[in-house]
Amino acid sequence: MEGRVARAGRALWLAGTGLIFVFLIAPVLVIVPLSFNAEPYFTFTEGMLRLDPEAWSLRWYEQVAFSGEWRGALVNSVVIGLGAALLATALGTLAAIGLTSPGMPARRVVTGLLISPMVIPIVIAAAGMFFFYSDLGLDRTHFGLILAHAALGSPFVVIAVTATLSGYDRNLTRAAESLGAGPLTVFRRIQLPLIAPGVLSGALFAFAVSFDEVVVVLFMGGLDQRTIPRQMWAGIREEISPAILAVATFLIALAVALLIVVERLRKRAR
Amino acid sequence: MRRRLRKPALALPLVAFVLVSFIAPILLMLARGVHQPVVRDALPETLAILDAWDGLGVPEEAAFAAAAEELRAADEARLAARIGGRVNRVRSGLRTVIVAGARTGADGAGAGSARERLLAADPAWGDPATWRALRTAGERFTLRNYLNALDLDRGADGAVVRQPEERRVYVPLLLRTLGVSAAVTVLCLLLGYPVAHVIARAPARRARWLLLAVLVPFWTSLLVRTTAWIVLLQQRGVINDLLVWLGLVDDAARLTLVYNMTGTLIAMTHVLLPFMVLPIYSVMQGIPPRFMRAAESLGATPAQAFRRVYWPLTLPGVGAGALLVFILAIGYYITPALVGGSGGQLFSNMIAFHMETSLNWGLAAALGGILLAVVGALYVLYERTVGGENLRLG
């Protein structure tokens, strides 16, 4: 009797948690087949369910690939994302080394300050940046957005590099120094290769943050700075067309690629 | 020795960069909430006269002369509409009065004294309330935006009073935002705890696959996930189609799941769930299964073992995840803006509205200051209990 109750409870538990996993992953996965819809609908047509090849098509992918707007947006996103990731990674890696060094004063306050771009509501940051960068004449420029996105991405670099540095053996630095290496040589030949996985995943995080950022672009960017998220935002608000689902599928593929690389790097760091 | 001193300095470039490119813009924006020089700078003489005025009767002739002259100059500098807008925020209906006054001044030298010209332009210039509003709008430093953002007002005698009930907007919205954030946090905990537990207990190989179900959405663009929910929840969307096909819902009575608060709640829970799962999972990984077995071998029922042993050990992860989800939810903008419709908007959306649509930047800054204070207090709490450097990235 009790065995049956326990078994029923266990089945219920499995079904329940299974549903939560479905809730997590299904919305992302559903987008993919819908982007091949031959009709401009956002649901599975009967033809699609019958696997009728006529009901499936690449028309939305063609539409996006041949659209000047989307291609311009891709270029903007890549340029701004690379610039922001480069800047955030350079500054963030140095800062992580400084933060984890033994003599660091006011570590908690400085960490709190450096992490703040992750936590402060994006609308507040975007509003502030709109006024500030306009006064400097940097609104509606790629450079202004690179600076803004670098600030938003830098906490991710600091966190990723700090995590790998916590496993770094300081005796290696001492050994290299005792053999006559200068601080720059120690950094370049000893420390950097060892923390490289953390630096690289930090850079990927920073790139992903910029590549997905829309609010600052909405406030600060002009027509020439339309990025992919900005373009999607307009698409969702104005006329939501399945072309968006094609772009979304591309972004999901990109996310999975980034995720795989970062997980590989994480394993290497251990 | 030199070397040891130099290392912490490596943090300086990023500290300087974050201060200049991120913190300074926010502080300067917040300053806009209390510092409003436009009217004062355009009408210095008028305001100097009004500062000495008792505020009761109609001001003396000199005030009319100064106002007519300075408004005319402001009109030439294309500032009249802006000043009108500022005064209008103090007392609505005065925009046209100010602009009309500025235009008569410009027509110029014509008939009568400055007083007669202004009164001819709009009789409201004979109302002391107009001048009082002008004086208030001319305060260089003002708490008006903050009072406004807290649904307060100054009475005729200068005492702070609450706005009449039908005009209270921002405090109820803040409370609603806190309520939605709390609801999302609870939902995330209810859904995230079992997920973290299943992954932590699974054999290594399967755990990696299960973890993907958390990490793929975590890495997927926020806009993509929000789009996915719009597509799924629409009246002609996948979920309604499924419910109709199952016969649970009549085709004529499809559920309204999106562009309202339901949509905001579902999409926000989905978007923030990984932030709950990951910290709980990392704590659960460190709890050896033998603890539970020990408790049960000592006679505890599984429920008791969970309640007295397992749950307390997972509390650090639960606290970290819950606080993080709550903090992120309070400031949420994109998801409510896209799936919230008119009923599912949160505090950040109101700030964006005043930034982009009403162009009342002083009020936007004050609302931002209030939101920042709430988030800041929670962040300090997070920093004290979890530690900022322990933030995990999945």
Measured in whole angstroms, how far is the alpha carbon of residue B250 from the centre of its chain? Answer: 39
Distance from the A125 Cα atom to the nearest Cα atom in chain B, whole angstroms: 6
C-beta separation of B330 from B178 below 8 A: yes
Q: Does A183 touch chain B (CB under 8 A)?
A: yes
* Interface subset of A 90-149, CB within 8 angstroms of B: 91-92, 94-95, 97-99, 101-105, 108, 110-125, 127-133, 147-148
Domain regions of chain A by residue span = 2-59, 67-238
Distance from the B119 Cα atom to the nearest Cα atom in chain A, whole angstroms: 38
Which residue did the predictor score with more confidence, A166 or B129? B129
Same-domain check for residues B194 and B112: no
What pLDDT digit, counting tens, does each position of B284-310 carry? 998 988 888 898 889 888 888 888 889
Same-domain check for residues B288 and B351: yes
Measured in whole angstroms, how far is the alpha carbon of residue B136 from the centre of its chain? Answer: 26
d(CA A77, CA B163): 46
Same-domain check for residues B183 and B291: yes
What pLDDT digit, counting tens, does each position of B308-357 carry? 889 999 999 999 999 999 999 999 999 999 998 888 899 999 999 999 99
- B324 in helix, strand or coil? helix
Interface confidence (ipTM) of the complex: 0.91
Cβ neighbours of A44 in B, within 8 Å: 238, 241
The reply to whether residue A256 touches residue B348, judged by beta carbons under 8 angstroms, is: no
What pLDDT digit, counting tens, does each position of B170-229 carry? 999 999 999 999 999 999 999 999 999 999 999 989 998 999 999 999 999 999 999 999
Of A113, A123, A162, the CB nearest to B351: A123
Nearest by Cα to B229 from A71, A37, A240: A240
Of A111, A123, A232, the CB nearest to B388: A111
Q: How many domains does chain B have?
A: 2
Of B23, B232, B355, the CB nearest to A127: B355
The reply to whether residue B18 touches residue A160, judged by beta carbons under 8 angstroms, is: no
Of A27, A131, A256, the CB nearest to B228: A27
What pLDDT digit, counting tens, does each position of A46-67 carry? 888 888 888 898 989 998 999 8
d(CA B306, CA B317): 15
The CATH number covering residue B225 comes to 1.10.3720.10
The reply to whether residue B18 touches residue A104, judged by beta carbons under 8 angstroms, is: no
Percent pLDDT > 90 in chain B is 52
Same-domain check for residues B327 and B246: yes
Same-domain check for residues B385 and B246: yes
The reply to whether residue A125 touches residue B194, judged by beta carbons under 8 angstroms, is: no
Mean pLDDT of chain A: 90
Cβ neighbours of A258 in B, within 8 Å: 219
What pLDDT digit, counting tens, does each position of A103-149 carry? 888 888 899 899 999 999 999 999 999 999 999 999 999 999 999 99
Cβ neighbours of A127 in B, within 8 Å: 29, 351-352, 355, 364-365, 368
Choose from A45, A94, A118, A123 for mutation: most chain B CBs within 10 A.
A123
Q: Within 13 Å and on the Cβ side, how many CA atoms surround B83?
A: 32
Percent pLDDT > 90 in chain A is 56
C-beta separation of A61 from A246 below 8 A: yes
Query: Which stretch, A8-12, A64-68, A203-207, B36-40, has highest mean pLDDT?
Result: A203-207
Q: Does A42 touch chain B (CB under 8 A)?
A: yes
- For domain A67-238, give its CATH number from 3.10.129.10, 3.30.1490.20, 1.10.10.10, 1.10.3720.10: 1.10.3720.10
Same-domain check for residues B100 and B196: no
Q: The domain containing residue B126 runs over which residues?
A: 38-139
Same-domain check for residues B298 and B182: yes
Same-domain check for residues B346 and B213: yes
Same-domain check for residues B98 and B211: no
d(CA A29, CA A24): 10
Of A131, A183, A212, the CB nearest to B25: A131
d(CA B310, CA B284): 9
Same-domain check for residues B174 and B106: no
Could you tell me the CA-to-CA distances from A87 to A258, B14, B333 in Å, in that order? 19, 10, 26
Of A30, A95, A151, the CB nearest to B11: A95
pTM: 0.90
B76 pLDDT more than 70:
yes
The reply to whether residue B348 touches residue A123, judged by beta carbons under 8 angstroms, is: yes
Distance from the B72 Cα atom to the nearest Cα atom in chain A, whole angstroms: 27
* Interface subset of A 155-174, CB within 8 angstroms of B: 156, 158-160, 162
Same-domain check for residues B125 and B274: no
Cβ neighbours of A159 in B, within 8 Å: 389, 391-393
**H/E element, B160:** strand B160-162
